[in-house]
Structure 1
Amino acid sequence: MLRRNFIKLSATGFATVIYSRLTFAAHIGSSLINHPDEAWAQVGGEWLKLVGKGAAVFTYQDIKIEIKTRGIAQSVYVQSPVTELQAIRFKWKYQTAKYSKILGDHWERTYGDLAWKAPQATTKNPWYVLLHDDKQTACFGVKTGANAICWWEVKPDSMELTMDTHSGGVGVKLGQRTLHAADIVTSLSKLNETPYSALTNFCKVMCSKPVLPKQPVYGINDWYVVYGKNSYQTIKDQTTAMAELVTDTNNRPFSVIDDGWQQADDFSIVNDKFKDMHKMADEIKSHGMRPGLWTRPLIARKDDSKTLLAPKIAGRSQEDELILDPTIPENIARVKRNISLYKQWGYHMVKHDYSTWDIFGRWGMQMKDSFTVPGWKFQDQTKTNAEIINTLYGAIRDAAEDMYIIGCNTLSHLSAGVFELNRIGDDTSGKEWARTKKMGVNTLGFRLPQNNTFYAADGDCVGLTKDVPWDKNKQWMQLLAESGSPLFISAELDFLGAEQKAAIKQAFTNAAKIQPNGEPLDWLTNQFPEKWKLNDREVNFNWD
């Protein structure tokens, strides 16, 4: 253990001498992380142990992994010219058993299940993991924008990092190129620093160049009122009514049109309920709001050539739902054309959805053993799934130009530094409070450190309807409006009385201005935090 420390953990906490060494290393810009004790490669479903060639190189037949120090990060480079590589794994040997609490992340959105938990050896912690001993917090992660999908496992006698390099459901064919898989970073909390502050600062380490909105984002979204049964008239009515509650004309809110405007499976053609999307955008602007639009970039048309389609796999493509293969340049060009079209129509924000489901055929909560069904492949097998996703996201970003982009069902760590906003949790509800509590409160409580460090972190809407208790929704709206995160409201107009309108008006006023991130004060013990620090005051909520 003394021969090679990763970040040395002891039974009583972090040793002072190690702490001093690490903070000094960070000051001079050196890496906080030492080289792994073991390296493995997954080929054909089997894990093969690599041979160390010095401290920074591991090999097995044609597979070569090299680790290079870059500032405070350790960059991982992989070569595998012949072998179809599925993943690589590093292992650092040291004791973690005395650390009672850990916190991981999710692949894409959260699903109401984030919490500080006891370490479990088989748990995959996507992208990063925090270890806490009631005194200090150690953070382990990879930088955003990686070319492999990464997770950490905390075992009693080791830390392990896996970098998945699948292409579709098979190993990637790298050929003669070298894959820059990921940059490993670590951080150690300062003395007396809270775990929340430690994670917020670590997010800044993982994402050094976030792309953020110029002003706080807030407004309305129609989904949780009509659930797709929208029209030109419903959008006009909601925008007109809600615009009367806006107080800040220097930062105008958005009116986002969700699913239901398009012609069947073609997101470049408007249906008869809307007729003219350019006119719709102008209508929204006439009421002092900024128009936004929902889209699904990888859905295919029924008349598309089969050569453009991704393979049908269990759980994803049904007979009535065809998916474009994102490795085909023609499909990426279509995605870019559609995004550019929305800008031509006059929209200021585009919300794109379903891409993770469309690529893998699984939601993040279903990615337990693997990301997708094994055995299938895209037309181009030379790129990892992470690279394929990065290409898609990059195309959307380029085509959007100065429009804001909000990702939904997008991989969080690959969205950071690319999109201004990200939907950080699964759907809230305009029908039941229990779902909003689970998907909204939990999500905001454990992902708010990503707000304005990765992107503007959207905890999803307040579904203001008669089906959800007002006393609960009022609190949820207050939390969103005062937490520094985006606020979107879906309001049933005939439910809005004087009290509701006054609360919305105040929420819009708060959400329109720059505020410090809220902090959940009881998140170490409460999966649905009730005690919050908002604008330097403590606020207590009752979610039950």
Structure 2
Amino acid sequence: MLRRNFVKLSAAGFAAVMYSRLTFANAIGNSLINHPDEAWAQVDNQWVKLTGKGGAAFSHQDIKVEVKASGNAQAVYVQAPNSELQGIKFTWNYQTVKYNKIFGDHWERGYGDLAWRSPDAGTKNPWYVLLHDDKQTACFGVKTGANTMCYWEVKPAAIELIMDTHSGGVGVKLGQRTLHAADIVSSLGKAGQTPYATLTNFCKVMCAKPRLPKQPVYGINDWYVVYGKNSFQTIKDQTTAMAELVSDTNNRPFSVIDDGWQQPDDFSIVNDKFKDMHKMADEVKSHGMRPGLWTRPLIARKDDSKALLAPKIPGRAQNDDELILDPTIPENIARVKRNMALYKQWGYHLVKHDYSTWDIFGKWGFQMKENFTAPGWKFQDQSKTNAEIINHLYGAIRESAGDMYIIGCNTMSHLSAGVFELNRTGDDTSGKEWARTKKMGVNTLGFRLPQNNTFYAADGDCVGLTKDVPWDKNKQWMQLLAESGSPLFISAELDILDAEKKAAIRQAFANAARVQPNGEPLDWMTKQFPERWKLNNREVTFNWD
């Protein structure tokens, strides 16, 4: 008789035991997923145990949860017509004590703290988790584009999946509709396969249809040189100088104009420093580069009606007078779409959109350890989960962008996959201090490269090439980005570019312009800032300290 729960594994005989006890082996192939042993629902901040019916259906009062086989996944469907539902939790009896290391993702960007760790029952592992026993790696996750915010907890005798269904800071009101909460997937690495290769393959399972750039993306971004104190002239100067270092005419680089071009509260109106963004785009194109633009889609105008604004969330306001649009209001989504269409009309080929997770939740990803946002507040429309609200926003951006490339920054990684061509792996690097680039760049690129070209092009952020950052460190960081198969962006102070630096940039641009295999951090199991890398089938050692 086949078991209803996860297979109880020991380190010995891992593969043999695994493959002999798969409930859905014939249906979905290399899967570790069986029906959960327990299901719970969260209402009024209390977890209530649901009654199981054959392991595939659970209920309590008006709440019903059903698990259905769907291709290579187990699809979860939820009904709660009368409850304000805050979450669903599945528990599988699963002996994890033999695993000495686990690895999970971040909600949005990484913050320099990604690492393989010893199992900890109190750690939330967003979207997916890997368990390693020195022989093989077991992977558990949900498919990208889920309609709930999903995380895994690994306990000594169980694995739990929590599908958060909050809407703002309260439970969602589903009414009569059925919520397709998530598609659960799992995979077992082959014997002798590296955890890196296993995760790369698992990313392909989680995201079957990534939306990828047609060619590798590289170029320049002005942020880490001027930090918003830019102008038409500074962009012209940067583009003119850096274009001279480009040798690939078949894959043109981008010149991305970061924050500073717009009116403070209106991303459809250019300020006096730039005057004409269509002319700015034409100027960039005249130097053989492709124009890109930074935007913040949910910022509100000071004269906006209060009816359009999201509630004030404790801790969210960057500035006391900062106002945020409610993304559940159709008029606001229409504005986001108009702005994206405007950038396309101006002639831009790429748009980098930022701050949406902060603007929606009032927290950065690293602050989401206990909850996503402050409790008690709600959007105008409480009928959609936070994940659905984000999916709708991202979908609107995608639809209105047309063939422009989109970089998500401060965006939910798992919800960006398959929607945006590029996504930032980590928080900002720096043009002022190497320690920040090492933390936010090296760490997050190393631990998120398996997502590169499986979820999207994984953007490790810029090389802040300035006099404040040691050249010997930036040279290595630039080489890693240029040869890892990920996007490369450089922010360079022009007056420090001597012959050596120009030659290095020219080589980095040439490398980044062509298709390359993903780099692999060879020591990521033991080092938070990997030093040994496999790049283009050769081993390269970096010194980050």
Q: Please tell me the TM-score bracket, short chain as reference.
A: over 0.9
Give the 3-state SS of the residue equivalent to 2:249 in structure 1: coil
AA aligned opposite 2:43: V
Q: Any conservation in 2 of the 1:114–1:443 contact (CA below 8 Å)?
A: yes
AA aligned opposite 2:436: R
Counterparts in 2 of 1:70 and 1:27: CA distance versus 1, 3 Å: closer
- 1:378 is displaced (CA, Å) by 0.2
CA distance in 1, matches of 2:55, 2:27: 24
State the match for 1:449 in structure 2.
450
- Quick one: percent identity of the two aligned structures? 84
- 1:194 and 2:167 equivalent? no
State the match for 1:245 in structure 2.
245
CA distance in 2, matches of 1:23, 1:43: 31
- 1:21 is displaced (CA, Å) by 5.9
- 1:19 is displaced (CA, Å) by 3.1
CA distance in 2, matches of 1:309, 1:347: 29
Give the 3-state SS of the residue equivalent to 2:481 in structure 1: helix
- 1:493 and 2:481 equivalent? no
CA distance in 1, matches of 2:17, 2:430: 50
Give the 3-state SS of the residue equivalent to 2:390 in structure 1: helix
Counterparts in 2 of 1:137 and 1:29: CA distance versus 1, 3 Å: closer
CA distance in 2, matches of 1:223, 1:326: 27
Counterparts in 2 of 1:56 and 1:110: CA distance versus 1, 3 Å: same
CA distance in 2, matches of 1:478, 1:445: 14
CA distance in 2, matches of 1:334, 1:38: 44
- 1:24 is displaced (CA, Å) by 9.5
- 1:320 is displaced (CA, Å) by 1.3
Q: Any conservation in 1 of the 2:462–2:491 contact (CA below 8 Å)?
A: yes
- Please list the CA deviations of residues 58-114 of structure 1 after superposition, one character each: whole Å capped at 9, or x if unmatched: 001000000000112000000000000000100001210111100000000000000
State the match for 1:157 in structure 2.
157
Residues 172-251 of structure 1: matches in 2 within 5 Å? 172-251=172-251
AA aligned opposite 1:446: F
State the match for 1:384 in structure 2.
385
- Please list the CA deviations of residues 508-539 of structure 1 after superposition, one character each: whole Å capped at 9, or x if unmatched: 00000000000000000011000000000000
State the match for 2:76 in structure 1.
76
State the match for 2:331 in structure 1.
330
**Aligned Cα RMSD in Å?**
1.4
AA aligned opposite 1:186: S
AA aligned opposite 1:52: G
CA distance in 1, matches of 2:118, 2:26: 29
- 1:258 is displaced (CA, Å) by 0.1
CA distance in 2, matches of 1:515, 1:267: 36
User: Which ranges in structure 2 are unaligned for 5 or more consecutive residues?
Assistant: none
Counterparts in 2 of 1:491 and 1:30: CA distance versus 1, 3 Å: closer
CA distance in 2, matches of 1:213, 1:6: 38
Give the 3-state SS of the residue equivalent to 1:86 in structure 2: strand
- Please list the CA deviations of residues 316-359 of structure 1 after superposition, one character each: whole Å capped at 9, or x if unmatched: 13531000000000000000000000000000000000000000
State the match for 2:428 in structure 1.
427
Q: Any conservation in 2 of the 1:114–1:527 contact (CA below 8 Å)?
A: yes
- 1:14 is displaced (CA, Å) by 1.3
CA distance in 2, matches of 1:425, 1:365: 11
- 1:3 is displaced (CA, Å) by 3.9
- 1:22 is displaced (CA, Å) by 5.3
- 1:212 is displaced (CA, Å) by 0.2
Give the 3-state SS of the residue equivalent to 1:448 in structure 2: helix
State the match for 2:140 in structure 1.
140
Q: Any conservation in 2 of the 1:13–1:133 contact (CA below 8 Å)?
A: no
Give the 3-state SS of the residue equivalent to 1:377 in structure 2: coil
Q: Any conservation in 2 of the 1:167–1:381 contact (CA below 8 Å)?
A: yes
Query: What is the TM-score normalised by the length of structure 2?
Result: 0.98
State the match for 1:484 in structure 2.
485
Q: Any conservation in 1 of the 2:22–2:33 contact (CA below 8 Å)?
A: no
Q: Any conservation in 2 of the 1:36–1:91 contact (CA below 8 Å)?
A: yes
Q: Any conservation in 2 of the 1:437–1:543 contact (CA below 8 Å)?
A: yes
- Please list the CA deviations of residues 10-47 of structure 1 after superposition, one character each: whole Å capped at 9, or x if unmatched: 14361414236659937864854100000000101011
Runs of 4+ more than 6 Å apart: none
AA aligned opposite 1:527: Q
- 1:372 and 2:373 equivalent? yes
- Please list the CA deviations of residues 254-292 of structure 1 after superposition, one character each: whole Å capped at 9, or x if unmatched: 000000000111000000000000000000000000000
Q: Any conservation in 2 of the 1:31–1:74 contact (CA below 8 Å)?
A: no
Q: Any conservation in 2 of the 1:423–1:458 contact (CA below 8 Å)?
A: yes
- 1:460 and 2:494 equivalent? no
Give the 3-state SS of the residue equivalent to 1:236 in structure 2: helix
Q: Any conservation in 2 of the 1:243–1:289 contact (CA below 8 Å)?
A: yes
